[in-house]
Amino acid sequence: MKKFINRPENLVAELLEGLVLSHPTQIRLLGTNLVARAKPKAPGKVGVITLGGSGHEPGLSGFVGEGMLDVSVAGEIFAAPGAPRCLEAIRIADRGAGVLFIVLNHSGDVLSANMTMTLAQREKLNVKKIVTHEDIAGGPNPDDRRGLVGFLPVYKVAGAASEEGAHLDQCLAIAERMERNTRTLAVALTTATHPSTGQPIFSLEDDEMEIGMGQHGEAGTGRMKLKTANETAELMLQMLLDDLKVKSGEDLLVIVNGAGATTLMELFLVFRRVHQVLQERGIHLVRSKVGEFITTQEQGGFQLMISRMDAELLRLWDAPCNAPYFVVR
Amino acid sequence: MTDQVTRHELARMMAAAASRIREHQTQLSQLDCIAGDGDHGSAMLRTMNCLESTFNAETATDLKTIFCEAGWKVMGSDGGASSSLLGAFFLGIGEATKQDVSSWRCEDLAAAFRSGLEAVQLQTKARAGDKTMMDALTPAIEMFVASAQAGQLVTDALQAAAQAAKTGAESTANLIARYGRARQLGERTRGHPDPGATSIALIFEGFLEGFAESKGNDHD
């Protein structure tokens, strides 16, 4: 393994320090490895928080900031943080109007979030939870679908709604509508190494790719010979459009998220083909993002995400936001 | 009186269990590479270090306090699913234990184990047969409870539980994962034991060894 690290056991603390020190006007560290907004939200507004393992930068703590998340609970490398720190985050984020807890569907995160909810109810904290599960590789059962880059529009619209003064139930409803209308599919080319153990997290032959690979090398269903950017984009887009049942004339947000080692050059080739196909089908590509929002170290591959947008979701997506890795002015 | 379980015996049990995990850390991480992300060994070690230090601390002899603190610390050790579940296990024991109890008999430890298992079952839908830590934890505790009911001593009940955990963990090699990250791998998980179940078997082995040591009779 070739990585610039100091001591593996200090990795998370040091990376969070670096993240916060490089964005001092937007975020700060609070409590035990909690990344929080530099300036707390106004009292009376709903707090929005999330949890997740580290090693996926800029996810998830890079999206803490005005108009998005209030607190992110960062775990160890690829491992969910425990309930005690999630409870701490809820207490910090609660400005008297309750807290929306956004959880990506991975078993460790969900277990920790469920435990947090049990403890929060005992403390009579006002918390609502939403689990994002838009990875269509998981099959038809929503519980089997993992949460991938689809967290991004969910954070964005929930954060924007809370800034507008929406109540907790309204923030939850918006987040749920965004989540229901989002689908993601991932493809992997090369493995990542676990930065603490130095072990590769999966293996693929040099001429292979795997569609459906999750954030941590969880296997997908489609191991096949490497295809071109156009062929891969077409194949994945078709699966997503079918699953979301997108019709001609509808409005889509498209995100191409690099897994860590795939170049922007390649991501642009993929996006270009997605754009062409949607245009041919009369589907409106109304908003887009191409870049790295959630990564897995030096894993090669990308996630393709589509969301069906309506007027309200678009307005919230466009609302001002000032997080280290997501700025809308 | 030799069959009593106090903080002293529990501290020895946790220390021995932590040693077992420490010795097998690399092997556990390698097992996790097959279906997970290869960090089970280091995550379990963090959990066991928490347990060892909590039970070693001279601050409390009251079992409720110690177990609640242990559960809370394990949950906070950020070891992913395994620390959430083991945290729930120890917190569940703590919450079910009456105030100001500092000593258990075999049947009390059985009741404690059962409360812990019930607390875990509230947090996960996984059951024995799903290729998770439940494949070792469930039979170990059922065996301990049955042995205690049959009037056995703690050492013998722990021996039976450790054997059940080992058998349960080994049986996971023939199973297909249905929970956790590994579930997406399906058939590819067959042929290798589940790392979580393997850890539980090591922990019960450690419990047996630590308890025997605390009573000054080598069990081997």
Q: Across the interface, do A80 and B75 touch by the CB < 8 Å criterion?
A: no
CB contact under 8 A, A108 and B46: no
User: Using 50, 70 and 90 to split pLDDT, how confident is the model at A95?
Assistant: very high
Are the C-beta atoms of B25 and B44 separated by less than 8 Å? yes
Structure tokens at B110: 């059985």
pLDDT averaged over chain B? 91
For residue A85, the chain B residue with the least C-alpha distance is B76
Is B137 within a domain? yes
Q: What is the pLDDT of residues B199-210, one digit of tens each?
A: 999 999 999 999
Handedness of CA B41, A8, A77, B73 (dihedral sign): positive
Place of tokens 């100091």: A6
3-state DSSP assignment of residue B62 = coil
- Quick one: pLDDT at residue A220? 58
Q: Is A107 touching B (CB cutoff 8 A)? A: yes
- What b-and-e string marks burial along B95-134, b requiring 16 or more CB atoms within 10 Å of the CB? ebbeeeebebebebbbbbbbbbbebbbebbebebebbbbb
Smallest CA–CA separation between A44 and chain B, in Å?
29
Asked whether residue B99 is domain-assigned, the answer is yes
Q: What is the pLDDT of residues A156-200, one digit of tens each?
A: 999 999 999 999 999 999 999 999 999 999 999 998 988 887 888
Inside any domain, residue B31: yes
Write out the residue range of the structural domain in which residue B148 sits. 7-214
pLDDT at B220: 43
Backbone angles phi, psi at B23, to 5 degrees: -60, -30
Residue A149: closest CA among A292, A43, A313, A325: A292
Label residue A138 by pLDDT band (50, 70, 90). confident
Q: How far is A116 from chain B (nearest CA, A)?
A: 10
Query: With contacts defined as CB-CB under 8 Å, which chain A residues touch B186?
Result: 219
The number of folded domains in chain B is: 1
Q: In angstroms, what separates the C-alpha of A242 from chain B's closest C-alpha? A: 21
Q: Which residue has the higher pLDDT, B165 or B187?
A: B165
Average pLDDT over residues A4-22: 95
Under a CB-based contact definition with an 8 Å cutoff, are residues A6 and A195 in contact? no
Searching chain A, which residue's CA lies closest to the CA of residue B81?
A108
How many angstroms separate the CA atoms of A215 and A78, rounded? Answer: 9
Closest residue by Cα to residue A154 from A179, A127, A172:
A179
Cβ atoms of A257 and A305 within 8 Å: the answer is yes
pLDDT value for B185:
67
Q: Is A222 at the interface with chain B, CB within 8 A?
A: no
What's the pLDDT at B218?
47
Residue A240 has a CB neighbour count (10 Å cut-off) of 22
A143 contacts: CB under 8 Å, gap ≥ 6:
A105, A133
Q: CA–CA distance from A47 to each of A25, A37, A102 (Å)?
A: 19, 11, 11
Nearest-Cα residue of chain B relative to residue A81: B78
pLDDT tens readout for residues B146-163: 999 999 999 999 999 999
Interface ipTM = 0.85
Read off the pLDDT of residues A66-94 as tens digits, 9 standing for 90 and up. 999 999 999 999 889 999 999 999 999 99
Contact residues, chain A, for B118 at CB < 8 Å: none
Q: Which residues pair with A187 in a beta bridge?
A: A211, A302
Mean predicted confidence (pLDDT) in A190-218: 82
Written as one string, the DSSP assignment of B129-184 is TSSSTHHHHHHHHHHHHHHHHTT--HHHHHHHHHHHHHHHHHHGGGS---SSGGGG
Residue B217 reports pLDDT greater than 60: no
Helix (H, G, I), strand (E, B) or coil at A102: strand
Low-confidence winner among A9-18, A95-104, B188-197 (lowest mean pLDDT)? B188-197
Chain A residues with CB inside 8 Å of B47's CB?
none
Nearest to A325 by CA among A20, A84, A7, A40: A20
Q: Is residue B39 part of a domain?
A: yes
Q: What is the CATH number of the domain that holds B33?
A: 1.25.40.340
Nearest to A115 among B30, B88, B181 (CB): B88
Q: How many CB atoms lie within 10 A of CB B67?
A: 26
Least confident window among A97-106, A217-226, B118-127, B171-180: A217-226
Query: Looking at residues B67-89, what average pLDDT do you find?
Result: 92
Residue A53 phi, psi dihedral angles, 5° rounding: -70, 165
Report CB contact under 8 Å: A216, B37. Answer: yes
Which helix (H) or strand (E) is A308 found in, with range? strand A300-308
pLDDT value, residue B219: 45
- Considering the domain boundaries, does residue B1 fall inside one? no
- Rounded to whole angstroms, how far apart are CA atoms B39 and B45? 10
pLDDT of residue A196: 83
Residues of A in contact with B79 (CB under 8 A): 76, 79, 82
Asked if residue B2 belongs to a domain, the reply is no
State which CATH number among 3.40.50.150, 3.30.70.1400, 3.30.1180.20, 3.20.20.140 fits the domain covering A182-309: 3.30.1180.20
> Which sequence spans correspond to the domains of chain A?
8-180+317-328, 182-309
pLDDT band, very low/low/confident/very high, at A47 (cuts 50, 70, 90): very high
pLDDT digits (tens, 9 = 90+) for B30-54: 888 777 777 788 889 999 999 999 9
Pairing type for strands A71-77 and A34-37 reads antiparallel
CB A220 within 8 A of CB B184: yes
Instruction: Tell me the C-alpha distance between A20 and A30, whole Å.
Output: 11
pLDDT digits (tens, 9 = 90+) for A109-136: 999 999 999 999 999 999 999 999 999 9
Catalytic residue IDs of A: 56, 216
Separation of alpha carbons A46 and A95, rounded Å: 7
Instruction: Tell me the nearest-neighbour CA distance from A213 into chain B, angstroms.
Output: 9
Q: What is the average pLDDT value for chain A, to the nearest integer? A: 95
**For residue A143, pLDDT beyond 90:** no
Please tell me the class of the A8-180+317-328 domain.
Answer: alpha beta
- Asked if residue B117 belongs to a domain, the reply is yes
CA distance A47 to A5: 34
Instruction: Tell me which chain B residues have a C-beta less than 8 angstroms from the C-beta of A118.
Output: 122
Contact status, residue B204 vs residue B165, Cβ threshold 8 Å = yes
Q: Are A78 and A295 in contact (CB under 8 A)?
A: no
Percent of chain B with pLDDT over 70: 95
Segment A279-286 mean pLDDT = 98
Find out whether B218 and B155 touch, Cβ atoms under 8 Å.
no
Query: How many other C-beta atoms are found inside a 10 Å radius of the C-beta of residue A317?
Result: 20
Percent of chain A with pLDDT over 90: 86
Mean pLDDT of B1-12: 90
Angle CA(B85)–CA(B128)–CA(B74) in degrees, nearest 5?
10
- Please indicate, yes or no, if residue B220 is contained in any of the structural domains: no
Enumerate chain B positions whose Cβ falls within 8 A of a Cβ in A: 29-30, 33, 36-39, 41-43, 46, 72, 74-81, 83-85, 87-88, 122-124, 179-186, 188
Shortest distance, CA A35 to any CA of chain B (angstroms): 16
